Amino acid sequence: MAENPFFAPSDLPYQLPPFADIREEHYVPAFERGMAEQLAEVDAIADNPEPPTFDNTIAALERSGQILDRTATAFSSIASSNSTDGIMEIEKQISPQLTRHSDAIRLNRALWARIKQVATDDPEESWLLEKYRDDFIRAGADLSETEQGRLRELNEELSKLSTEFAQSLLKASTESALVVTDRKELDGLDEAKIESLRRDDGTYALPLLNYTNQPGLAQLTNRDVRRRLYELSVGRAPGNFDLAARMAALRAERAALLGFPNHAAYTVADQTAKTVEAVEEMLGQLVGPAVRNAYKEAEALAEQAGFAIEPWDWSYYSEKVRKARYDFDGAAMRPYFELDRVYRDGIFFAAGTLYGVTFTERPDLSGYHPDVTVFEVFNEDGSRLGLFVLDPYARAGKRGGAWMNNLVDQSFLFGQPPVVMNNLNITKPASGPTLLTYDEVNTAFHEFGHALHGLFSHVRYPRVSGTRVPRDFVEYPSQVNEMWVTWPEVLANYAKHHETGEPMPAELVAKLTAASTFNQGFKTVEYLAATLLDWAWHKLTPGETVDDPEAFEAAALDAAQVAMPVIRPRYRTNYFAHIFAGGYSAGYYSYIWSEVLDAESVEWFTENGGLTRANGDHFRRELLSRGGSIDPLTAFGNFRGREPSIQPLLARRGLV
């Protein structure tokens, strides 16, 4: 066991996890030793005969658990991006143990008594101390023994159910794939795409991506194939309905134990929204105009189709209307969006112009898969900033969607620069260059916005490093970074034909921006429907149970006045991983909540001359570098110079 790579800090640059040396059998012993080590460290803190100080209590907690941290970070990265049956087994075994472990710390009475006595005058320390007190109270530190006993049971059960939910979803993406034997049925998809779907037995399998409207629906000409694909999508992992209902009931019970009327109230209390009413007031302003917009769009689609459309027709006919109205052909853009160029000449270029940073590929450093690339990032003065790790391609064993994760947190406590990672789910072509859709380009810029938030982190303590901010704030910097996708200077630099190097023709660029509010009714409604569904599940009162989750879902959408026969939520209950297998329960509203700040910031950049070093530095200094080390809305105010208003968002979505 001496050579278990998790037992000592990585000796790779920036402490990049040594993926090449990690084998599946290393995880369980490393988790076990990591948990035991941290419990011993915590006991030593709690039993310290010295009077409690910030350093011997809070900072000591920040220093604890390093083996566990290294192990859990590498493991969760693998479990998300390159999972196997073995990894899934370990996940099942370990996730309830991790929950027990975190309860053992936060429900440690001696430790809690000590934390309550710590005092400090330093602003960064006071803020962190408050976070710790909040974390402990929210975890149940003040409850009685009996209540804590029940809480531990609930947490463990919830963690098991959540793993089960995620794993059945991962399986469903391939097991529920649309399989066709006749190539003609895939008419509409491009040849390279069809080739990438071909399996050894000569059939073709179109795997399910993790949301309702599969990308193929925009292209497949055969209406019956579209219907089959759509029905597979909305009906996948049906066992997850019952898991979801059980989780919602358990979360309601837990919220009651902790003194809240429901899980939504518990969740938003430590977010920037703070109250259920604040979230509902915001959503209330959006539902009516969005639904009206979507009905107008549906009429235009019916006119184009010549019949009343069904949900599986929406994308197909909206592409046609888009072409007719804006002469906008998504496929015509793809040759100008070559993956490598999008990064080097688009994403890195924009970051370089704004923040002065540069990127150097480090082929000597590797990830867990040959498709993973590592870049070293430098400041303008040549000082080292951190590593950026990119895993762009979809593969079996990778969960759907796109995300950013930290492989190493920045902190001055450990003198540690950050290692951040972006994952995308782009289909790897059988051969030739990887050409992206406009949406994929947008997603790449978005995820890179999170990466910058992690890379620019300039804080003392890991607990508040980089993206460790409330989740109704975390989407804000990433959304801001999307503004550079179509910024003329940036677009001109990266959108070049992959064969000829010709820049994207001006008329295509004009169409791209002209079409930007197109289909916003649909997009807003499918998002709001998912948000309100999340909300309904998490406003269940304790003791309330749901016997028929599908009926509950339908009734919830109806009650929220967002039910449209032709638009289902972006995620139905059975594949709503954000809220049943991720950290977003009662938090899916965060995206539009953050978008208020995003729209405000885009307005600020635009008014101040856009893509300049001065603007980038201001955003970096006041906002990105602060991570969670100060109140997020204070950071926003320092950047923007005023309180946020919803108006810029309404205007952007065509909802005024």
Q: What does the binding site for Zn ion look like in residue numbers (CB under 5 A)?
A: 475, 478
Closest Cα to residue 247, out of 609, 599, 582, 10?
A: 582
Least gap, CB of 452 to Zn ion (angstroms): 12
CB of 10 or CB of 478, closer to Zn ion: 478
DSSP three-state, residue 163:
helix
Question: In this structure, how many other beta carbons lie within 10 angstroms of the beta carbon of residue 384?
Answer: 12
Closest Cα to residue 447, out of 485, 415, 491?
A: 485
Q: Which residue is nearest to Zn ion (CB)?
A: 478
DSSP designation for 582: S
CB of 71 or CB of 77, closer to Zn ion: 77
CB of 569 or CB of 582, closer to Zn ion: 582
CB of 373 or CB of 478, closer to Zn ion: 478
Provide φ and ψ at 4, rounded to 5°.
Answer: -60, 115
Least gap, CB of 582 to Zn ion (angstroms): 11
CB of 313 or CB of 595, closer to Zn ion: 595
Least gap, CB of 290 to Zn ion (angstroms): 21
CB of 148 or CB of 594, closer to Zn ion: 594
CB of 26 or CB of 471, closer to Zn ion: 471
Least gap, CB of 210 to Zn ion (angstroms): 14
Which alpha helices (DSSP H) does 139-275 contain, by range?
Answer: 145-175, 191-197, 223-235, 240-257, 263-268
Least gap, CB of 316 to Zn ion (angstroms): 28
Residue type, 447: E
Query: Distance (Å, rounded) from C-alpha 476 to C-alpha 457?
Result: 15
> Helices 240-257 and 145-175 meet at what angle, rounded to 10?
160
Q: What order of strands is seen across the sheet that includes strand 358-361?
A: 358-361, 373-378, 384-393, 419-426, 403-408
DSSP three-state, residue 392:
strand
Task: Report the first-to-last Cα separation within the chain, whole angstroms.
Answer: 64
Closest Cα to residue 23, out of 99, 69, 66, 84?
A: 84
Closest Cα to residue 229, out of 204, 198, 200, 207?
A: 207
Query: Distance (Å, rounded) from C-alpha 3 to C-alpha 26?
Result: 9
CB of 297 or CB of 475, closer to Zn ion: 475
> Exposed/middle/buried for 2, CB within 10 Å: 0-12, 13-18, 19+?
exposed
Least gap, CB of 450 to Zn ion (angstroms): 6
Handedness of CA 30, 35, 40, 42 (dihedral sign): positive
> Which DSSP helix (H) or strand (E) runs through 46?
helix 24-46
Let me know if 91 is a catalytic residue: no
Least gap, CB of 156 to Zn ion (angstroms): 29
Partnered with residue 435 across adjacent β-strands are 338
Least gap, CB of 274 to Zn ion (angstroms): 22
> Which DSSP helix (H) or strand (E) runs through 557?
helix 549-559
Least gap, CB of 591 to Zn ion (angstroms): 8
Partnered with residue 391 across adjacent β-strands are 423
Query: Distance (Å, rounded) from C-alpha 157 to C-alpha 138?
Result: 18
Least gap, CB of 538 to Zn ion (angstroms): 20
CB of 81 or CB of 478, closer to Zn ion: 478
CB of 140 or CB of 346, closer to Zn ion: 346
Question: In this structure, how many other beta carbons lie within 10 angstroms of the beta carbon of residue 143?
Answer: 17
Count each helix (H run) and each strand (E run) in the chain, helices first. 27, 7
> Exposed/middle/buried for 200, CB within 10 Å: 0-12, 13-18, 19+?
exposed
* Residue reference for tokens 């105009």: 289
Least gap, CB of 578 to Zn ion (angstroms): 11
Assign 3-state DSSP to the chain and report helix, strand, coil percentages, each to 5.
60, 10, 35
DSSP designation for 237: S
CB of 357 or CB of 480, closer to Zn ion: 480
91, 447, 603, 622: the catalytic one is 447
CB 532 within 8 A of CB 525: no
CB 315 within 8 A of CB 221: no
The residues that are catalytic are 447
